[in-house]
Structure 1
Amino acid sequence: MHTVVIGIGGVGGYFGGKIANSGQKVSLVARGEHLEVIRQKGLKVRSIEGDFVTRPFLVTDDIHKVKKADLILICTKSWQIQEATEFIKPILKEDTIVIPLQNGADNAEKVMSVIDKKHVLGGLCKIYSKIEAPGIISHFGHTPEVIFGELNKNKSDRLQSVKTVFDKAGFKNKISGDIQVDIWSKFMFIATVSGLGALTRATIGEMYENLELREVLRATATEIYEISLAKAIEMPSSIVDGIMTFINKQPFDATASTQRDIMEGRPSELDNFNGFVVKEGKKLGVDTPTNTFIYSCLQPMEAKARMPKN
């Protein structure tokens, strides 16, 4: 299997690096100084589960130099996914599998708006990681895991082909029986902690420890649960309590990548998180006052971050 990873940040760098380090054929699509350092020195991953340096089959910023792919992992930010999907068209074969691993609830839909749905699996990952420096990925929290599955809940042969790649790479992975439930469960967590974390400048532990902020976290998650039900996602009735328990188990000093992006003045996934909840609420007739407040407070910062630089 030839695996191509688009976007070599914390997610793509870690999982792409693990696949390459297991001796499998991997092409990484990166850019800038990050690309040049990986070309010269290999991709270095500093991980709480063990450091390694790997030299993938190919590292490039030119998609036309990449051989046709059996498996493509799209690991850009969620607001870049449609552009990334256009980008991969030259390396698609009839049976190429494409899995988006971004945070967000509608990534598979975005991919299918650009390429034939036959290529697409639903997916998500769980990891705390980031680019520490050009050519260096830091994995600093959570046992890394990828969850994936057919969007129609079928148990296809190609799921096992993907699992074989991930198993050989040596990271935790699971074929989902209902990938939409898994995607929305992850989305509920990440959207809940990201927006409020950016607004308060607080860590996950600090927010949960504060009783008032804990109630805001719960209200945010509850609105997302109500949106999921309106979209006929078969979420368990206990999911909000489960998400709150999960939040409480996170490292006290942990922050989400979207929170860090907003705090550092970079374009973020705000529109794909709290903004998505607000938009879907309006469309579906579901009130989202907590998400609306968080999104409205942060949106001016997001707009400023996206202004053209002189």
Structure 2
Amino acid sequence: MHVLTLGAGAIGGYFGGRLVEGGSRVTFLVRAGRKRDLASQGLRIKSPFGDYVAPVTAITADEIEGPADLVLLTCKAYDLPSAIETIRPAVGPNTAILPLLNGLAHIEALNAEFGSTRVLGGLAKIAVTLTRDGVIEHLNDWRYLTFGEQTGEMSERILALKAAFDRTSVLASAVPNIMHAMWEKVVHLSTVAGVTGLMRASVGEIARVEGGSELMISLLERNADVAARQGFKPSDAFMEEYRRLFADRSSTYTASMLRDIERGGAIESDHILGFMLGKVRSCGLDDTIHRIAFIHAKAYEERRAAGRL
């Protein structure tokens, strides 16, 4: 299996690097500057599960020579349109695309561009960052990757990818219900991003305010209702876990969207909050909280674009 990884940043570099370490054939599709860095210093991973430094194969977009067996897509949601154009020459009739993006909107976009038979579902649970000197730093013991066919079929390519990751320290799971897992994640993510972003506070800080827990749980349950109406009802265990979280006055948990807002960075407003707002409206449900959270995020983007942060 020839894997083409778009980028060699934190997530793509980590998972792609581990595949190289495990003996897989991996090509990193990168910008010219990153290609020079990789040529001179190699791909560098610092991790509790073993540091890894090695030369890797890296190309720029004009050097794509043909289809890959699998394209690993790890861009931010707001970069998806340009990422689609970048990978297009590497997508052939039998190419699989494994996106590891937040939310679900990217699945719809990739299905429209390449057809659902080429697009896998996937989730990554890992804390990694790319340092200023180009090292991929693994920050804790999370190293989970979950993937599967949208149809639920345990296909040959899914089993081959699982076998490739089984030769690494990554804890990979090939599952028949990846879309259900992705819907649960978007229920959680759109709730915590909407509320912690809107309130500019952690879950615990919101919970300590009168009515705060009730607000978060109400939004969670509305999002779960939307998922159920799409055919992906969250499990009782999932709902109980997040009800407990949103009642925890000591929790320091915040969404990455809030952290991006606090540092003045770009955010995935349309991909997460806009996506769920659209689904709420399509179900004919009350969209008040979703609309306010989305307008807040878009107003932040307007202010950021004007350089007023």
TM-score when normalising by structure 1? 0.86
Counterpart of 1:229 in structure 2 is 228
User: Which residue identity is paired with 1:301?
Assistant: Y
Q: Cα gap change, 1:272/1:68 in structure 2, threshold over 3 Å: closer, same or farther?
A: same
The share of aligned pairs that are identical, in percent, is 25
Name which one, 1 or 2, has greater alpha-carbon Rg. Answer: 2
Counterpart of 2:264 in structure 1 is 265
Contact 2:22/2:164 (8 A) holds in 1:
no
Counterpart of 1:127 in structure 2 is 126
Q: Post-superposition shift, 1:5?
A: 1.0
User: Which residue identity is paired with 1:39?
Assistant: A
**Whole-Å separation in 1 of the counterparts to 2:40 and 2:277:** 45
Counterpart of 1:102 in structure 2 is 101
**Whole-Å separation in 2 of the counterparts to 1:155 and 1:67:** 26
Contact 1:19/1:26 (8 A) holds in 2:
yes
- Counting only pairs closer than 5 Å after superposition, residues 211-290 of structure 1 correspond to structure 2 as 212-245=211-244, 255-290=254-289
Contact 2:143/2:170 (8 A) holds in 1:
yes
Q: Cα gap change, 1:2/1:276 in structure 2, threshold over 3 Å: closer, same or farther?
A: same
Contact 2:105/2:272 (8 A) holds in 1:
no
Q: Decide which moves more: 254-263 or 209-218.
A: 209-218
Q: Post-superposition shift, 1:230?
A: 2.1
- Counting only pairs closer than 5 Å after superposition, residues 1-310 of structure 1 correspond to structure 2 as 1-31=1-31, 33-56=33-56, 58-65=57-64, 68-141=67-140, 143-203=142-202, 206=205, 212-245=211-244, 255-306=254-305
Write the deviation string for residues 76-132 of structure 1: whole angstroms up to 9, x where unpaired. 012322432232121123321111110112322211111132211111111222222
Q: Decide which moves more: 62-71 or 148-157.
A: 62-71
Unaligned runs of 5+ in 2: none
| Equivalent residues, number | 307
Contact 1:82/1:111 (8 A) holds in 2:
no
**Whole-Å separation in 2 of the counterparts to 1:162 and 1:288:** 40
Q: Cα gap change, 1:163/1:64 in structure 2, threshold over 3 Å: closer, same or farther?
A: same
TM-score when normalising by structure 2? 0.86
Q: Cα gap change, 1:86/1:255 in structure 2, threshold over 3 Å: closer, same or farther?
A: same
Q: Decide which moves more: 257-266 or 152-161.
A: 257-266
Contact 1:105/1:183 (8 A) holds in 2:
yes
Contact 1:265/1:301 (8 A) holds in 2:
no
* RMSD (Å), alpha carbons: 2.9
Q: Decide which moves more: 70-79 or 13-22.
A: 13-22
Unaligned runs of 5+ in 1: none
Contact 1:128/1:140 (8 A) holds in 2:
yes
**Whole-Å separation in 1 of the counterparts to 2:108 and 2:92:** 20
Contact 1:195/1:259 (8 A) holds in 2:
no
Write the deviation string for residues 106-162 of structure 1: whole angstroms up to 9, x where unpaired. 322211111132211111111222222252223224522111111112222221011
**Whole-Å separation in 2 of the counterparts to 1:29 and 1:205:** 41
Q: Post-superposition shift, 1:205?
A: 5.6
Contact 1:277/1:291 (8 A) holds in 2:
yes
